[in-house]
Chain A
Amino acid sequence: MPVTGLYVVQEPGTIASTISSINDKITRQFPKVLGKWSIEYKLFRENPEISTPGRQGSQAHIDQYQQQPQSKARFLSQLHLSTHDDDVFNLIDEPMSYSAARAGIKSDKKVLAVFDKGMDSIIGAKLQSMWLLRQSMRAEGHVFAIGDSFLVRTANVTQNGTFKFLIIEVEYLASDDLDASKEIIAGFITKCGFPQGRLFFGDSLDIYREPAEDPKKFGKIAHCLQYMEFFRMRPSG
Chain B
Amino acid sequence: MASLQQFSLYAAFAPSKLQHILSILSAVTGMRPISLLQQHILFSPSISGHGSSTSVVTGGAAVSVAPLESSRIDVSRDLPQNLDEKENAKPPEWTLTIPTIPESGKRPVQVQAISKTKFRPSEEIDQNVDNISTLFRFLRALDYVYAYDYLERGYIFVYNGIATIKISQISPQLPLQLHEIPMGGDGDQVASTVARGRDPDNAKFVNTWVVHAYVEIVTGPETVGDDSEKVKIAIERLESLKAEIGGLFELEIPDRALLDPRVQMRR
Knowing A49-B68, A51-B47, A111-B138, the reply to whether A221 touches B122 (Cβ < 8 A) is yes
Nearest opposing residue in chain B for A48, CB measure: B50
Cβ–Cβ < 8 Å partners of B70 in chain A: 126-127, 129-130
Given contacts A49-B51, A50-B47, A118-B116, contact A97 B96 (CB under 8 A): no
Binary A-proximity of B93-121 (CB < 8 A = 1, otherwise 0)? 00010100000000000000001111111
Which 3 residue pairs are nearest across A and B when measured between Cβ atoms?
A118-B117, A219-B124, A113-B138
The digit string for A135-147, where 1 denotes a CB below 8 A from any CB of B, is: 0000000000000
B137 touches A219 (CB 8 A): no
Contacts of A52 in B (CB 8 A): 45-48, 143
For window 43-97 of A, CB contacts with B under 8 Å fall at 46-47, 49-57, 74, 76, 87-88, 90, 92-95, 97
Q: Please judge, given known A-B contacts A51-B47, A130-B143, whether A213 and B122 are in contact too, CB under 8 Å.
A: yes
Interface membership of B265, Cβ < 8 A: yes
A53 shortest CB reach to chain B, Å = 6
A-B contact count (CB 8 A): 137
The SS class assigned to the A binding surface is: mixed
Instruction: Give the bracket for the number of chain B residues in contact with chain A.
Output: 35 or more
How far is B126's CA from A219's CA once the two chains are assembled, in angstroms? 13
Q: Nearest A residue to B45 by beta-carbon distance?
A: A130
Chain A positions within 8 Å of B96 at CB level = 115, 118-119, 122
Judged by a CB distance under 8 angstroms, whether A217 is at the interface is yes
Q: Is A220 an interface residue (CB 8 A)?
A: yes
Which residues from B are CB-within-8-Å of A118?
Answer: 96, 115-118
Of residues 123 through 163 on chain A, the ones whose CB sits less than 8 Å from some CB of chain B are: 125-127, 129-131
**Contact segment of B23-31, B128-136, B155-163, B197-205:** B128-136
User: How far apart are the CA atoms of A97 and B46 in the complex, in Å?
Assistant: 14
Measured in the bound complex, the distance between the Cα atoms of B137 and A46 in whole Å is 16
Bound CA–CA A74/B122 (angstroms): 24
Docked complex Cα distance between A203 and B241 (Å): 57
- Interface residue? B123 (CB, 8 A): yes
